[in-house]
Structure 1
């Protein structure tokens, strides 16, 4: 079974500014209440370490397109049990604003069991982070 969560927000800032905030892992604690921390070298095929709401995982960076897209693949214990392909995507709207999209495609045998939690808690976490990113980008 597969499940997708997708959220987006319009931010009055450039893609470059937003990208700078997203990839400045050392300062996540200043603004991001959803992703508590990210560490490791941001490079395709590298493992990074991410802490979110009481859970730590070590996904592999799949895509890294400067100022546009960051995507990683993580899993719970082993591949196929509960996997998540997380993506940040930035689109320049051509008017001084940027559309920030955060999504995750979940797959694996535990997805069905965790669907309600994903729909509520994970989606709420994405939306809260989006708002916090907007606030940070528009006020700093």
Structure 2
């Protein structure tokens, strides 16, 4: 099994980070990697997701939400083409830190017959996409936090 994991510390309380991270309708306003998510934040819900790793034209996937632990974690499982070829489980975890800070951990575990080959081709671009998303989430939340707003939601 192969995996890509990244993390970042955000100078914003966990509930505000969670609010932005789960506001799927507004991902396109701040997120350069996951530019679209349509669907409900409910276990078993099928999502319509557009991933746009840097240097690629992007890809559409339809994962299913498999875990939701409010304010702490959500994850989905999906695949390209047919199950067993290139499957992934993506997780977004938040850890509450002292002084109103939050750590975001974004990981994906890949498996399947073509996982090594596909990751050889797009693995570093995918990691770069995770890191760009993490930085954008951090910037948006901290900007809202500095402005003294009570919710970390995208600005117009």
What's the TM-score bracket when you normalise by the shorter of the two chains? Answer: over 0.9
Could you list the runs of 5+ residues in structure 2 that have no partner in the other structure? 53-57, 145-156
Q: In structure 1, what is the Cα distance between the partners aligned to 2:94 and 2:2?
A: 22
Matched ranges for 1:17-96 at <5 A: 17-53=16-52, 54-96=58-100
Partner of 1:105: 109
Which consecutive aligned stretches of 4+ in structure 1 deviate over 6 angstroms post-superposition? Answer: none
Equivalent in the alignment of 2:120: 116
Deviation per CA, 1:69-100, whole angstroms, max 9, x where unpaired?
01000101111110010000000012211110
After TM superposition, give the deviation of residue 118 of structure 1 in Å.
Answer: 4.0
Q: Does 1:8 align with 2:12?
A: no
Name the Cα RMSD after superposition: 0.9
| Residue in structure 2 matching 1:129, options 133, 137, 143 | 133
Structure 1 distance, partners of 2:42, 2:10, is: 26
Unaligned runs of 5+ in 1: none
Q: What's the TM-score, normalizing by structure 1?
A: 0.96
Q: Secondary structure at the match of 1:33?
A: coil
Q: In the aligned structure 2, how far is the partner of 1:75 from the partner of 1:65?
A: 23
Q: TM-score, normalised by structure 2?
A: 0.86
